[in-house]
Chain A
Amino acid sequence: MSTNDEIDGKLLRLAIAAQDHKHNILERRKVLTELVTQIEGFRIVGRPRPNEFPPDIYEEIYAEAKQDLMLCIFTKIDTYNPSKGKVRQWLNFLMNKRFFNEAIPKIVGRKNSILYTEMQIKWEEYLKNDSYEAGTALREMIEEDADDALKSVVMTRNPQINFQVLLLKRGDGMSWQQLSEEFGVKLPTLTSFYRRSLPQFIPRFREYL
């Protein structure tokens, strides 16, 4: 475990290295990324004005302020003056005196939409989604293909494959892997064709979300 002095020394070295790399953008990016990683890892930035706001509002204000502070570290590192204090002091000064206060009116008194809670996110459910949910109306629309527009979008080198066929088979729950095997066409070729075919039909599909 590092002592506070060791941490401060490390942050100072990184801040100065970032300033020194003013003209080597790649090195500067790497050093700044490391600096911010350490700042967050060691929880250098404190939480100003606790107990002044309801917890959920406070967290919103803090997240907003933190984002502004981060942007400041990355883009204004050259304004940090080591002779005036440690990196830790510079950051907490900016947080306490500036960014937290500026964030308050962006959150408080604003008609906030209620955001998803932790309980509302069922992570594992959203991972398996190799297909799309085809409701009856959408399914019928694709099958009917009123003006043959969907089936007229054909893969140049594989005329047996058209956009309608892919939509129907995907709607049946077939995976890209299965389709790739069935048609004997490489998977990226299929998905690339599917992705390029879709945009022209956006207006048609919009009411079937």
Chain B
Amino acid sequence: MSNTEVDFVLTMPIAPAARRTAQTLSQQQNDPKKVKQVYLNALAVHAVNFYFQCMEIDTDLAASDIWNPVVQKFMDIADLDVKDIGKLECRWVAPGQDFVTIPADVRSDRIGYIAVEIAASQKEAKFLGFVKKCDQEKVPLSELESIDQMLEYLDELKPVNLSQWLHNVFDSGWQTAQTLFESKPELRFAFRSSQVLESSALADVHLPVKRGKILNFECGKEQVALFVELMTTEEPEIDISVEVYPTNGQTNLPNDLQLTLLDDEGETQMHARANKGERLLFEFSGEPGDRFTVKLALGDFSVSKFFFI
């Protein structure tokens, strides 16, 4: 989107009800500084929660630690639980300040940190940006990523619901091999040898269903195509294959590419290394309710995709 002359910042209203709730919460504290800190924490969480409500991103506001006066006393916390994804920390920024404070209390177990400037009137919140990770107390606002990038990141973290694939419902970015060919002609070469893939791409209405996605490593140029296929099933069990192919006209995967399958406890179930092979393949089976993670690692960078059946 070309955004000419003015760079506005997303601004959302803070309704009186949110302020009243925040104020009531804050008054459970005795320490006067803590009172206002709890108040501002609660305002930030409410503002972000409202934005997510608008965006139709499911949250669990009741699970936030802002409601717990004891936790608030001993720590400085403003978390918001994003359903199926994890806790996002909503840090308030004072009007005109050029950094966001991320206390040590919350520098673990978070999917990221969103910086929200509360207006002096306390009736508006400006969404300044976000960071995924942080190991310092003060982060300059200039180092934050955009809200668009946060939306992309949340979308990436959202587990893929494979049961929906059986009903032909696919999350954005998961395409048939054919569509990936069309949008990325350079992929064609990589797939030429794979008969199975081409035939399944033509018939994706019934099982087997196969969809793929291009995954980029943070280091830049390197990318691979990840395919997940739901094969024939014997209820309630379903056979799944996970395949990784090279892209960009390459015939072989990067030498030190590693593929790992993890269960919902984070335990490694399968592990393989590309060793310049043409593809990596895992086959396993699962049942409704199962969760698993596919992790691709290349050098210091890794990409994880989350799935549930």
Contact = CB atoms under 8 A, between A and B. Distances in A.
Interface of A: 1-2, 24-27, 29-34, 36-38, 40-42, 59-60, 63-64, 66-67, 70-71, 73-75, 106-107, 112-113, 115-116, 118, 120-127, 129-130, 132-133, 135, 167, 170, 175-177, 187-189, 191-192, 194-195, 198-199, 201-202, 205-206, 209
Contact of A66 (B4, B13, B28): B13
B23 A116 contact: yes
Contact of B69 (A40, A195, A209): A209
Interface residues of B, number: 66
Which interface residue of B10, B33, B108, B147 has the most chain A CB atoms within 10 A? B108
B122 A116 contact: yes
5 contacts: A26-B152, A33-B148, A115-B122, A118-B120, A176-B104
B31 A133 contact: yes
Interface of B: 1, 3-6, 8-17, 19-20, 23-24, 28-31, 33-34, 36-37, 39-40, 50, 53-57, 68-71, 73-76, 94-95, 97, 101, 103-109, 120-123, 135, 147-148, 151-152, 155, 172-173
A163 to B, nearest CB: 11
B73 A209 contact: yes
B54 A71 contact: yes
A132 B107 CA distance: 17
B56 A202 contact: no
A127 to B, nearest CB: 5
A63 to B, nearest CB: 5
A73 B33 CA distance: 37
B279 to A, nearest CB: 28
Given A33-B147, A133-B34, A123 B94 contact: yes
